[in-house]
Chains A and B, each alone.
Chain A
């Protein structure tokens, strides 16, 4: 019978050594809400499971209005949702974290795990991309940092090399008159994976309602989460009126490359990208105006 070794390192160094020593045969365990299902289904068969939840550095949230947010890769979603600073400054991210599963699941599941699982439908990934989050990675050769929009390569595959471990996210300090929003569409009211997810972040000039900065990210409409750059470029410098919002929606649709599957048709997904982009922009704008 196939046996699995469970390891529980206490430091990033120990974890990296274990992961490096066993290469493809090792898999980090964060919340386990994806990994356990994959073990059961036989889609992943590691010989070593490296539990990273006992590494203190990976379980920390530190926020300052000046430096922004450092979010440990193994912080559970519920802790993110319950953090008053994060709820105030990054409501889109906390909403995304709160959409994942039930309270029990949120107590285990982590934003880091959500990203490393490499699913294009991960709820927190578009929210991170919208915020301009950077992923700090530790590895046998030292550390590196990559933008979250460059982290996923294809379904289930990421930039992490054997031995590498996602350590934390660095998220810029919130600018004045800025905010974010994340919306997803699911056919039921719970229990579903996103058919479409849209994360947006906006910074406005309150004097004339112009867009100073914007980021839009799409989930579940391509092999990886998508950073909709053209939709963003069309917004910056423009007055955020209905026409600008509609245009951003149309350009977001153009960035999507969805497929037909049991969760929805490609045609439907493209349509909903437009709907959610418009709705999320409107929410983020309202929040941005109220943020000062």
Chain B
């Protein structure tokens, strides 16, 4: 269902062509990183720490080096020391010193799975055998596993040099806060407005709750991989699975001290990323192994490697206090957030603070958010990083306030909802946004209008906010002699963006979508293009393709003018046909004109490069989820009966892919809500490093997800596009929690709401007598 405030004047945009890469993918011909093989290629493997926190006393590589078939070995000693620079790499802010330490440990290992050494050998089996011959002497230290533990004054310290810095905004380097002593809390950000005390005095109802969410993984199906070829001339080619080939180039360059210009990154087809493939793990290691061995080196992670050492996103501890007047106006909100960064600073604590309460206009507000290092893998971006956890907390409390005020939860959100001109939590006012329209669309949806009946059943709603990334993109649009068109960008295609780009070019040029070939190319063949992430590709790279196609169109008009000996201004272009007034000027289609290019000046290449603006400045997105659940009161298992999502997408270029993003985000959110969690034992070792026990929902766990596309055009974009990839994951956790409350009257404040957690909560409320207690009493 699409609820659009704009009438479509397009022929290609808004339709649902099949994707250009579809046949290769469904027939298994698409080439992913792990499919690539080169003559003489070696296989690399990484030795990973078996401890959560330990000092490395020594590493003895002698036996591994002598093992038949081993061609190169590396440890942290083979990596250059990298000075701590906070580099803005696309939407990420990366401390290159810590990035280097994460790629290969030096001095200390800081989590179960931290890379300690690597080998390259003639086969993967030989490489794995060689790992067993490496002798590492560890001094095991006490691990610190949660934000709550790590923030205690007497907690063991992970990194001696860290001091707490108070930041005014997301990219602020910050200034020292508190005493000059080692801490596990490197970052604190605060947003404040109004008079909190006065706001709470004005409240008729005040709700105060604490929340805990488990760390969860992005769960992309394709493990990380990298193939590096270190040439005799010192130039490096890296094939890998990444969301940002230019990111890989910059980050590999800074970790290895190789000039960026000496590195070419060729992105392979990607089997999912969700933010987790915006950094580097294997690429620098494979490059050094290739340099040492003089051979191409391929490295592919196992699923256990992926879960132990890549991603995930932060576990959190959160506190919310919120008040509402009798009429439902939120009078004050005080939010305290602590995000686990993993072993090195850099959790999404700032965006978490910027997004929580972002859908609401609250006069008296204070948000504190903290970055906390713990002995877990360094977090990576994950779909709307930071926002889902903080939304879970606030959207649960908002649901409670709505119940206390006796107001429908969507009406409550509309009453307090943000509109154009109102301030965001971080300060700047919103431009044209579609939050109210999104809430209204959900309220009027078939799902919300349908009655839900039966015991142990309940319906919950929740809202969410996320930014649109702008940043840099480049595109070329080539007009070929047969009238076909190739669209070349540097944006790795994760969610169908190739076809979306082709649709934009086809629309501008009046071409058939099947005559347009979209190509994603390497870092030497296109201008700088930032990461596929931050919901930015359809938006920003789409903007570049739109401009490049117009550039090509202008050149085509000039050729027509030349052929017809007319001023360019007299050449008209409509419905795919070039024409001009006057006798003896037959109109020409793009295909007809294309055959004359050689004679009129040679090929046509339209080009565009741009910086679409800072993250958030270029657009914003809102989503509302609605979930119906049924709970088995004896086992506390939650069944999703029905779920839907409404989202302001600005304009749906390809509605099928937009729906796919909305559905995928909601599915991931439901996994986060019900079953996904990193499960560490008391020694800080990950006990569920596989997809058997790291439980993502399967297709049998979810009904068909209904979508309501809302189109409130983005004023910053020529086609009105908003980023659609991320915001859908923000509301589901609270929507499920709120549905559980409606079903059985239990407020869940801990994720995941797995059967053991939920049963315990039901028991604490006196809902059921735990049989296990009855038996114990016997």
Contacts and interface: CB of A to CB of B under 8 A. Distances in A.
A262 B688 contact: yes
B704 to A, nearest CB: 15
Interface string A266-289: 111111111100000000000000
Interface string B661-677: 00000000000001100
A2 B130 CA distance: 12
A47 B698 CA distance: 37
A191 interface: yes
Given A1-B123, A1-B126, A267-B770, A253 B775 contact: yes
Contacts of A270: 771-772, 775-776
B759 interface: yes
A189 B698 contact: yes
A185 B700 contact: no
A193 interface: yes
Interface in B669-708: 674-675, 679, 687-688, 691-693, 695, 697-698, 700-701
A154 to B, nearest CB: 19
B69 interface: yes
A250 B771 contact: yes
A237 B697 CA distance: 45
A262 B688 CA distance: 7
B565 interface: no
A93 B770 CA distance: 29
A265 B774 contact: no
A1 B129 contact: yes
A187 interface: yes
Nearest to A2: B129
B756 interface: yes
Given A187-B637, A262-B688, A263-B693, A249 B129 contact: no
Interface string A193-206: 10100000000000
Interface string B739-778: 0000000000000001110011000000000111011101
Contacts of B572: none
Contacts of A189: 698, 700-701
Contacts of A188: 675, 695, 697-698, 700-701
Nearest to B758: A268
A261 B687 contact: yes
A249 B771 contact: yes
Given A254-B775, A270-B771, A270-B772, A275 B634 contact: yes
B125 interface: yes
Given A261-B687, A270-B775, A190 B756 contact: no
B643 to A, nearest CB: 15
B635 interface: yes
Contacts of A263: 693
A187 B771 contact: no
A264 interface: yes
Contact of A274 (B691, B697, B755, B775): B775
List the 10 closest A-B pairs by CB distance, nearest first. A270-B772, A274-B771, A253-B775, A268-B756, A262-B679, A189-B700, A262-B688, A271-B772, A275-B634, A271-B771
14 contacts: A185-B635, A187-B695, A188-B700, A190-B698, A250-B774, A253-B771, A254-B778, A261-B687, A265-B756, A267-B760, A268-B755, A268-B760, A268-B772, A275-B635
Given A254-B775, A254-B778, A275-B634, 20 more contacts: A1-B125, A1-B129, A185-B635, A187-B695, A187-B754, A188-B698, A188-B700, A189-B698, A189-B701, A190-B701, A250-B774, A250-B778, A262-B688, A263-B693, A264-B755, A268-B759, A269-B772, A270-B776, A271-B770, A272-B635
Interface of A: 1-2, 185, 187-193, 195, 249-250, 253-254, 261-275
Interface of B: 69, 123, 125-126, 129, 634-635, 637, 674-675, 679, 687-688, 691-693, 695, 697-698, 700-701, 754-756, 759-760, 770-772, 774-776, 778
